[in-house]
Homo-oligomer: A and B are copies of this chain.
């Protein structure tokens, strides 16, 4: 799996080969089939591995909520750190989310949906969300998740070549956008 993830740095799952993976891992081609029936199967497992750390991340953000402004700074910083520390996994997710392998795509989508649900319940606990309908909460959660995904992708690209200025610019933009969203949230009157 490490070998696969490493090769997926500049390639996508659909173009990955069994022989390629086993060669990188220092095994014989036949050895692969002892563990996975397919390369798609390997992909699905990588999805699970990749998103496990994401759930940890979100909890670490929402845990300490000392005011909206600080939470925003913290969220953006956590995303940046997460991308930095799990770049191969994040890149894999970004690449395969709309990639050519249906089963992997569906796995990511399902997991991201559960992720939005989790964010939704967390949002519901905040005082700002009083009087919000179920639908409105879900809509907001999806907006946050989509924004997180976009931001993570941007960080990813910026970190490919080390470019601290670009990275700071992305962080600044993300913070402003989150501030604008939370402003809209405070003035929301229901749908």
What residues make up the interface of A, taking CB atoms closer than 8 Å to B?
10-12, 14-15, 91, 94-95, 97-100, 102, 109, 135-136, 138-140, 142-143, 146-147, 149-150, 153, 157, 173, 176-177, 179-188, 191
Contacts and interface: CB of A to CB of B under 8 A. Distances in A.
B173 A142 contact: yes
Majority-rule SS of A interface residues: helix
18 contacts: A10-B100, A10-B102, A11-B100, A12-B15, A95-B99, A97-B98, A135-B176, A140-B177, A140-B180, A142-B173, A142-B177, A150-B150, A179-B191, A180-B181, A180-B184, A181-B184, A184-B185, A186-B187
Copies in the complex: 2
Contact of A100 (B15, B97, B183): B15
A106 to B, nearest CB: 9
A177 B139 contact: yes
Contact of A185 (B95, B149, B180): B180
A110 to B, nearest CB: 12
Given A176-B139, A181-B181, A98 B95 contact: yes
B98 A153 contact: yes
Which of A10, A11, A12, A140: most chain B Cβ within 10 A?
A12
A109 to B, nearest CB: 7
Contacts of A179: 191
A191 B173 CA distance: 11
A152 to B, nearest CB: 11
Given A142-B173, A142-B177, A143-B177, A98 B109 contact: no
